[in-house]
Amino acid sequence: MEIRVHTDNHITGSEHFSEKYSEELNKKLHRFTEYLTGADIYFVDENKAKASINDKKCTIEIKIKNKPPEAVSHNADTISLAFIGAIDKMKHLLDSRIGKLHNR
């Protein structure tokens, strides 16, 4: 599965940063791999350089074979917490979508 990591101008997205979150996404969604063709992870600092509560947003968009893309988002105080929240939401969404594919 091809995974792309995107950041806005207020979040430094190094190669190490991209690898870290790509590997974590692969690990957390491993059981769905046969159904997925790709993913995009977007990180945004919604309040730019100002400190604020829940201003970091992570959106994960997943491409499911022969289905339209699905996306979830989560806001938190840090990039890591936003990513963890988005991953949890994505796992629930995929459980639902993949489960429906099996029940046909």
Q: Give the mean model confidence (pLDDT) for residues 77-85.
A: 95
| The total number of structural domains that make up the chain | 1
Among 36, 3, 32, 24, residue whose Cα is nearest residue 81? 24
Interval 66-92 mean pLDDT: 95
Query: Model pTM?
Result: 0.89
pLDDT tens track for 15-71: 999 999 999 999 999 999 999 999 999 999 888 766 677 889 999 999 999 889 999
Whole domain around residue 32: which residue ranges? 2-102
- The four Cα atoms 85, 74, 81, 96 give a dihedral, to 10 degrees, of 10
- Element spanning 37, H or E: strand 36-45
Q: Domain of 55: which CATH number?
A: 3.30.160.100
pLDDT at 104 over 70: no
Task: Find out whether 43 and 6 touch, Cβ atoms under 8 Å.
Answer: yes
